[in-house]
Amino acid sequence: MDEALFTLVARLIRVEAELGEVAYERAVHDALVAVAAAVLHEAEAAAACINEGSTSKVVKFPMGRKRRPNVGQTD
């Protein structure tokens, strides 16, 4: 494992020891959200690089309600 990961785990353990379970759980949650945000950012950046040179067009799918306006109505 990377040293940064060890540092993160050590900080989380310290948060739990010094601030308690609630603060620890919040810190873990926030760390997971930060990881997800970083992954999303990288994926979007990679997709933009792929799409910059692309000549393909976005195909819009019709909305079911536009084609069938009475869907879900019981009267």
pLDDT at 46: 80
Its pTM stands at 0.60
Residue 69 has pLDDT above 60, yes or no: no
CA 50 to chain CA centroid, Å, is: 20
pLDDT at 63: 65
CA 8 to chain CA centroid, Å, is: 20
**Token pair for 71:** 């869907």
**Token pair for 53:** 């040179």
CB–CB of 65/71 below 8 Å? yes
pLDDT at 31: 96
Average pLDDT over residues 16-38: 96
